[in-house]
A = this chain, B = another copy of it.
Amino acid sequence: MRKVGIKDVAHAAGVSPTTVSHALSGSGKVSPDTRKKVHETARALGYTPNRLAAGLRSRRTNVIGLVSDEIATTPFATNVLLGVQHAAEKAGVIVMTVNSERNAETEKRQITALHQHQVDGIIYARMYNQRVELPELLDSTPTVVLDGKPTNRAVPFVIPNEEQLAYDAVSHLIEHGHTKITFVQNADKIPASRGRLIGFERALQEHGIARSDNDLILASSSAEAGRTAVRPLLEREDRPTALFCFNDRIAMGAYQAAHLAGLAIPEDLSVISVDNFEIIADSLYPALTSMELPHFQMGVWAVERLLALIENSEEDEEEPCEYLIGCPMVVRDSVAPLVK
């Protein structure tokens, strides 16, 4: 008598377990009266269905797995967790979070564990836009990729629209009168740097601005690297009046370089960046205008897409879909009109 089960409810309500199951799950047909009665007695008895048993029988656990590389390691993409959980809760599913700590062996074990727990599907998430090779283990599981483009299997995926984001950022600077703009680019060969470069160049071109050689410098993703890279730039006679930074950490370094050069932001130098990592963007002085990487939205999209995939996993294979998610600008105080 310890825990109340479906039989107890059935007994108390004077119906069969089947009817209770139908009434509570909404499947099958039950008269409004009995449905109501069942619900009442269930609540009265404090009935909590055992999802293990349900899942075992129905082959649907309403659990999804989230496997990430180091999404938890780095605070940047924290919002994908939030987005995933938000959407999951709304859909009535729960998420098992697992992270590989960048180790293929660990990842295999983790995915296997997820399988053993019979998850309905898996979100394979990266912490920044990259090409991903989906592990074989996932081959027979509904899967979506978040912030990455799968190379070896056609599954739905979402990545930020890198080109648009760069185009918008640079256009914003141009609209403020700037024509000498330097792109403080990431040094790695990743989709983000490729896409943003294209957007950068397109913005210049469409606004009729010459793309001279000195419009681009490289830095790795840290304030220190940004500072070091930007510093010499600002000491030149012909220095740029605006910077488009690859991310907020680099922008922070640019602030420091400006400080060292005795330049005021935004009066002497406008800065726009990418990430909208609030802790940095809000904390800098003046606050940093930045293009948001919409992690929360990506998380939401991923679970919605995954659930759709699970729904018709037996039915027609609909074409895998690619989602280039738009990146809005969050305007703060680091961009000012050019004064001659």
By a beta-carbon cutoff of 8 Å, the part of chain A in contact with chain B is 48-53, 55-56, 61, 63, 72-76, 78-79, 81-82, 85-86, 89, 92, 94-99, 101, 106, 109-110, 112-118, 222-224, 227, 249, 252-253, 256, 259, 277, 279-280, 282-285
Contacts and interface: CB of A to CB of B under 8 A. Distances in A.
A99 B82 contact: yes
A125 to B, nearest CB: 13
A63 B279 contact: no
A52 B56 contact: yes
Contacts of A79: 72-73
A130 to B, nearest CB: 20
Contacts of A109: 89
A82 B78 CA distance: 12
A52 B283 contact: no
B51 A117 contact: yes
Contact of A252 (B78, B99, B283): B283
Contact of A52 (B52, B75, B106, B113): B52
Contacts of A117: 51-52, 63, 94
25 contacts: A50-B56, A51-B118, A52-B61, A52-B118, A53-B56, A63-B117, A73-B79, A73-B82, A75-B76, A75-B279, A78-B78, A81-B81, A85-B97, A94-B96, A94-B113, A95-B96, A95-B98, A97-B97, A222-B282, A222-B283, A223-B283, A223-B284, A224-B283, A253-B283, A279-B279
A89 to B, nearest CB: 7
Contact of A78 (B73, B96, B115): B73
A291 B99 CA distance: 27
A273 B334 CA distance: 27
Given A96-B95, A97-B95, A283-B280, A72 B63 contact: no
B72 A82 contact: yes
Contacts of A285: 223-224, 227, 256
A61 to B, nearest CB: 7
A48 B118 CA distance: 10
Residue among A52, A73, A259 with the highest chain B CB neighbour number at 10 A: A52
Contact of A249 (B55, B223, B279): B279
B99 A72 contact: no
Residue among A48, A50, A99, A117 with the highest chain B CB neighbour number at 10 A: A117
B89 A106 contact: yes
Nearest to A284: B223
Residue among A106, A114, A283, A285 with the highest chain B CB neighbour number at 10 A: A283
B97 A51 contact: no
Nearest to A116: B51
A218 to B, nearest CB: 18
Contacts of A222: 282-283
A257 to B, nearest CB: 9
A29 B51 CA distance: 32
Contacts of A94: 96, 98, 113-114, 117
Contacts of A283: 222-224, 249, 252-253, 280
